[in-house]
């Protein structure tokens, strides 16, 4: 009962009229609209003699609004009355190009209305013309009041009636600023055009400031993020494929202030690569139409919402990485990497290469250890990790001791290229070998592993599959590519890795069926193949490929890593991602 009363109270607050005004339709003199703004949206109410029609544009479909003024017409003189020609031309008040004869203030409202039955969003602009007063500044004040209330609602703030009259004086401050990293090489190389033509207009409608940097070479984004003055931005958006975001995330974990950085920054991805698994997964998890593919991400960039997302810490014998998508061994990784030469084709390259790989079907021998989802990670004992268990530190020939001016507690600290550990005193002094001069070699920080190191034995609550495999693919997103719906049950922040295993006993036709069903997610109901093709949730895993046979490819988020032992553990909700 109390719940019902509370709910109805909430509904009342949602539907309470914050602002209301009557407007005339520009070209139809007798057509009148009552326009109401409530916490739930913009209500356009058309009243005829005997009927009332209401259309509500939900706040979540509105991305921004701007106050504009009508534009001075060429060859017009000041005494001419406002022309209501077919196209209304408006300009920013500060442009100096406005028409002094028109005292109206125009509020442009930009909405992308969800048509769920058509699986798309349509862009709509609603123009409200404020002209009740004889003076422009009075009309502008009124339009500005609507703008400020609407902006607050778009940001997700609850607006009450109490302070509504303040809104024309107290502007809503935009505290967001985005760093956009665009790769001109991703996908079929159209990222720059996609950004300028489709994304910039949306960011402008939402009045979100951004700084654009075009990557100049592979790893540019990683270096940029590692070394930049990060805190001038509130979010990073990559325009490219999963590989570009992989660079950015690993660049973040190469910063000593990674813990603060991941609290401060929200990540977004505008799909412009051949592999767009994360963009597709975010759209899927948010129930957004992926049509056109870049729209959900662009809308997400304008909104003030984010969700926590799991990351997986990957350890190989030579490096530590942070991954958001998948670890692959076998047919899917082989297809991904071997089809590189067909990059210009876009995503169809995968279909073509799949056919080739089915004909020459390969399997790989090895062991797959995993910690089931219902088991708890037993923090490893010192004896498991020889690297960290040394009671005596082997000092290099020369040691530089320095006090850091900002005291940082570092959980783990590795060179990305070597397994050398570094030692930090708890009081904030750093002990660093001068052989690795600062700034020359990146080091991977990030949360400390709870697993034994990759060369050590695993605890007894781990399970093991041994034999030959056509594929072992671990995913922590629903999609690892636009049409690769590998883990339908996955969530952005469920703390689970989904292990998809195909044993070598699978026939060619079963593998073909599996690949065909991947786009719909129906591969997991493989009708009696459960002992051959299976998917199950785990918290951590280790793959040890047989060393005495020809290597294939191992990938992390679609990027090749060295072929050999690899282990992974999930860190639930480690970073924030933009969601529409
Ligand atoms: N300016 C550049 N020149 C060359 N390489 C670049 C440049 N910018 C980024 N890269 C690299 O190109 C690769 C493109 O990856 P991305 O995921 O963005 O696109 P993609 O088309 O999906 O590629 P892939 O299929 O390799 O994943 C990344 O590995 C990145 O390091």
pLDDT tens figures, 138-183: 999 999 999 999 999 998 887 877 666 666 666 677 889 999 999 9
- Report how far ligand 1's centroid is from the alpha carbon of 11 (Å): 48
Q: What DSSP assignment string belongs to 489-524?
A: T--TTS--EEEEEEETT--HHHHHHHHHHTTTTGGG
In angstroms, the CA 290 to CA 119 distance is 8
Q: What is the pLDDT of residues 451-489, one digit of tens each?
A: 999 999 999 999 999 999 999 999 999 999 988 999 999
The minimum-distance atom of ligand 1 relative to the CA of 187 is: 21
- Per-residue pLDDT of 282-292, as tens digits, reads 999 999 999 99
Of ligand 1's listed atoms, the one at least distance from the Cα of 215 is: 1
Residue to mutate, 194, 269, 273, ligand 1, most ligand atoms under 8 Å from C-beta? 273
Q: Quick one: which atom of ligand 1 is closest to the CA of 242?
A: 17
The tally of CA atoms less than 13 A away on the side-chain side of residue 197 is 5
Could you give the CA distance from residue 284 to residue 73 in angstroms, rounded to a whole number?
47
Query: To test the ligand 1 pocket, which listed residue (195, 218, 237) has its Cβ within 8 A of the most ligand atoms?
Result: 218
Mutate to test the pocket of ligand 1, among 182, 183, 350 (most ligand atoms within 8 A of CB): 183
Q: Which of 241, 326, 335, 353 to mutate to test the pocket of ligand 1 (most atoms within 8 A of CB)?
A: 241
- Domain boundaries along the sequence of the chain: 15-70+101-165, 178-304, 326-376+449-572
Task: Output the CA 185–ligand 1 centroid distance in Å.
Answer: 6
Q: How far is the CA of 183 from the centre of ligand 1 (A)?
A: 7
Question: SS3 for 195-217, per residue?
Answer: HHHHHHHHHHHCCCCEEEEECCC
Contact 511, 530 (CB under 8 A): no
Ligand 1 atom at shortest distance from the alpha carbon of 336: 25
Query: What 8-state DSSP symbol labels residue 180?
Result: E
What is the predicted pLDDT for the residue at 377? 65
The Å distance, Cα 287 to ligand 1 centre, comes to 28
- Using a 10 angstrom Cβ sphere, with 0-12 exposed, 13-18 middle and 19 or more buried, the burial of residue 463 is middle
- Given ligand 1 and candidates 182, 226, 243, which is best to mutate, with the most ligand atoms within 8 Å of its CB? 243
| 48, HSE (Cβ side, Cα atoms, 13 Å) | 3
Element spanning 337, H or E: helix 331-338
Closest CA to 150 of 177, 168, 130: 168
Distance of CA 285 to the CA centre of its chain: 11
The alpha carbon of 182 and the centre of ligand 1 are apart by a number of angstroms equal to 10
> What pLDDT is recorded for position 405?
36
Spatial neighbors of 27 by CB under 8 A, at least 6 apart, are 84
Please report the pLDDT score of residue 379 as a whole number. Answer: 60
The whole-number pLDDT of residue 340 equals 78
Pair type for strands 266-271 and 235-240: parallel
What pLDDT, on a 0 to 100 scale, did the predictor assign at position 542?
Answer: 98
CA distance 146 to 19: 7
| Smallest CA separation from ligand 1 atom 5, residue | 218
Contact between 324 and 355 (Cβ < 8 Å): no
Between CA 438 and CA 77 the distance in angstroms is: 67
| DSSP-derived secondary structure letter, 374 | T
Sign of CA dihedral 290, 295, 301, 303: negative
Q: Measured in angstroms, how far is the CA atom of residue 186 from the centroid of ligand 1? A: 5
- What burial letters (b/e) apply to 369-385, b meaning 16+ CB within 10 Å? bbbebeeeeeebeeebb
CA distance 299 to 510: 40
Residue 208, number of CB atoms within 10 A of its CB:
20
Q: Under 8 Å CB-to-CB from 350, ≥6 apart: which residues?
A: 274, 335, 336, 339, 481
The protein residue whose alpha carbon is closest to atom 31 in ligand 1 is 218
What is the number of the ligand 1 atom nearest to the C-alpha of 216?
Answer: 1
Question: Which H or E run includes 34?
Answer: strand 28-38
Tell which atom from ligand 1 comes closest to the C-alpha of 183.
8
Neighbours of 141 (CB within 10 A): 16
- Tokens for 290, please give them: 């992926």
User: Cα separation of 189 and 485, whole Å?
Assistant: 25
Backbone angles phi, psi at 53, to 5 degrees: -115, 130
pLDDT of residue 283: 97
pLDDT per residue, tens digit, the chain (580 aa), is 444 444 555 566 677 899 999 987 766 666 788 999 999 899 999 877 778 889 999 999 999 999 988 777 765 443 333 344 446 677 777 767 777 778 889 999 999 999 978 889 999 999 999 988 989 999 999 999 999 999 999 988 878 776 666 666 666 778 899 999 999 988 778 899 999 999 999 999 999 999 999 999 999 999 999 999 999 999 999 999 999 999 999 999 999 999 999 999 999 999 998 879 999 999 999 999 999 999 999 999 998 889 999 999 999 999 999 999 999 999 999 988 888 777 677 667 777 778 878 888 999 999 999 999 988 766 654 433 333 333 333 434 443 443 333 323 333 333 333 333 322 222 222 223 333 344 467 899 999 999 999 999 999 999 999 999 999 999 999 999 988 999 999 999 999 999 999 999 999 989 988 888 888 888 876 666 778 899 999 999 999 999 889 999 999 999 999 999 999 999 999 999 999 9
Q: Whose CA is nearest to atom 30 of ligand 1?
A: 218
Distance 215 CA to ligand 1 centre (A): 9
CA of 246 to the centre of ligand 1 (A): 10
Ligand 1 atom nearest the C-alpha of 238 is 18
Q: Bin 62: left if φ > 0, else alpha if -120 < ψ < 50, else beta.
A: beta
pLDDT score for 414: 38
pLDDT at 390: 33
- Ligand 1 pocket, mutate which of 191, 240, 277 (most atoms under 8 A from CB): 240
User: What would the two tokens of residue 153 be?
Assistant: 């609602």
- Statement: 178-304 belongs to CATH 3.90.1150.10: no
What is the structure's pLDDT at 274? 81
- Taking CA atoms only, the protein residue closest to ligand 1 atom 15 is 243
Q: Which two tokens stand for residue 128?
A: 């409200």
- Residue range 326-376+449-572 forms a domain whose CATH class is mainly beta
**What is the position in ligand 1's atom list of the atom closest to the CA of 188?**
21
As a whole number of angstroms, the longest Cα–Cα distance in the chain is 93
DSSP annotation of 163 reads: T
Q: How far is the CA of 275 from the centre of ligand 1 (A)?
A: 10
Q: Which residue owns the Cα nearest ligand 1 atom 11? A: 218
- Ligand 1: which of 181, 182, 185, 277 to mutate, most ligand atoms within 8 Å of CB? 185
* Residue-level pLDDT at 527: 64
**Do the Cβ atoms of 91 and 106 come closer than 8 Å?**
no
- The residue whose C-alpha atom lies closest to atom 6 belonging to ligand 1 is 218
Cβ(419)–Cβ(382) below 8 Å: no
**Residues with Cβ within 6 A of ligand 1?**
183-187, 215-220, 240-244, 247, 273-275, 558
Task: State the distance from the centre of ligand 1 to the C-alpha of 341, rounded, in angstroms.
Answer: 13
141, 170 Cβ separation under 8 angstroms = no
15-70+101-165 belongs to which CATH class?
Answer: mainly beta
What distance in angstroms lies between residue 447's CA and the mean position of ligand 1's atoms?
27
Q: What is the number of other CB atoms lying within 10 angstroms of the CB of residue 416?
A: 16
Q: How far apart are CA 149 and CA 159, in angstroms?
A: 7
**Fold agreement between 15-70+101-165 and 178-304:** no
SS3 state of residue 389: helix
């Amino acid at each position: 009962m109390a719940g019902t009363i509370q709910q109805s109270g909430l509904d009342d607050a949602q539907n309470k009229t914050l602002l209301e005004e009557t407007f005339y339709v520009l070209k139809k003199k007798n057509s009148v609209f009552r326009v109401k703004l409530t916490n739930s949206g913009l209500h356009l109410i058309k009243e005829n003699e005997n009927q009332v029609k209401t259309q509500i544009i939900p706040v979540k479909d509105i991305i921004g609004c701007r106050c504009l003024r009508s534009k001075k017409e060429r060859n017009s003189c000041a005494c001419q009355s406002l022309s209501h020609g077919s196209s209304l031309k408006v300009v920013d008040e500060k442009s100096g190009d406005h028409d002094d004869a028109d005292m109206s203030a125009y509020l442009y409202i930009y909405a992308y209305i969800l048509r769920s039955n058509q699986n798309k969003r349509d862009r709509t602009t609603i123009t409200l013309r404020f002209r009740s007063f004889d003076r422009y500044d009075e009309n502008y004040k009124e339009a500005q009041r609507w703008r400020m209330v609407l902006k607050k609602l778009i940001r997700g703030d609850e607006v009450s009636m109490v302070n509504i009259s303040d809104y024309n004086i107290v502007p809503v401050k935009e505290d967001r600023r985005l760093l956009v990293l665009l790769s001109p090489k991703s996908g079929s190389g159209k990222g720059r055009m996609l950004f300028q033509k489709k994304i910039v207009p949306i960011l402008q409608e939402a009045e979100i400031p951004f700084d654009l940097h075009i990557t100049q070479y592979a790893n540019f984004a990683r270096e940029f993020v590692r070394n930049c003055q990060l805190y001038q931005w509130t979010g990073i958006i990559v325009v490219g494929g999963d590989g570009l975001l992989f660079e950015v995330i690993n660049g973040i974990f190469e910063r000593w202030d990674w813990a603060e950085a991941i609290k401060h920054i929200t990540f977004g991805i505008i799909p412009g690569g051949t592999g767009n698994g994360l963009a597709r997964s975010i759209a899927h998890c948010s129930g957004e139409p992926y049509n056109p593919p870049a729209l959900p991400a662009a809308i997400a960039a304008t909104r003030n919402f984010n969700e926590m997302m799991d990351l997986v810490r990957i350890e190989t014998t030579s490096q530590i990485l942070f991954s958001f998508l998948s670890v692959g061994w076998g047919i899917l990784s082989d297809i991904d990497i071997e089809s590189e030469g067909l990059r210009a084709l876009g995503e169809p390259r995968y279909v073509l290469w799949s056919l080739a790989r089915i004909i020459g079907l390969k399997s790989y021998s090895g062991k797959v250890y995993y910690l089931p989802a219902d088991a708890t990670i037993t923090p490893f004992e010192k004896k498991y990790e020889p690297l960290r268990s040394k009671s005596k530190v082997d000092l290099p020939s020369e040691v530089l001791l320095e006090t850091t001016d900002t005291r940082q507690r570092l959980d783990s600290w590795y060179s990305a290229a070597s397994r050398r550990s570094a030692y930090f005193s708890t009081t904030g002094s750093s002990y660093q070998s001068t052989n690795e001069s600062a700034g020359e070699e990146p080091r991977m920080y990030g949360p400390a592993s709870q697993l034994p190191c990759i060369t050590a034995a695993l605890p007894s609550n781990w399970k093991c599959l041994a034999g030959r495999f056509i594929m072992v693919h671990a995913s922590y997103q629903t999609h690892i590519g636009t049409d690769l719906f590998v883990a339908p049950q996955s969530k952005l922040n469920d703390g689970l890795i989904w292990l998809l295993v195909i044993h070598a006993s699978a026939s060619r036709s079963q593998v073909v069926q599996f690949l065909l069903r991947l786009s719909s997610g129906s591969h997991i109901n493989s009708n009696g193949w459960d002992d051959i093709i299976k998917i199950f949730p785990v918290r951590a895993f280790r793959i040890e490929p047989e060393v005495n046979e020809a290597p294939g490819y191992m990938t992390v988020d679609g990027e090749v890593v060295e072929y050999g032992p690899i282990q992974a553990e999930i860190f639930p909700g480690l970073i924030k991602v933009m969601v529409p």
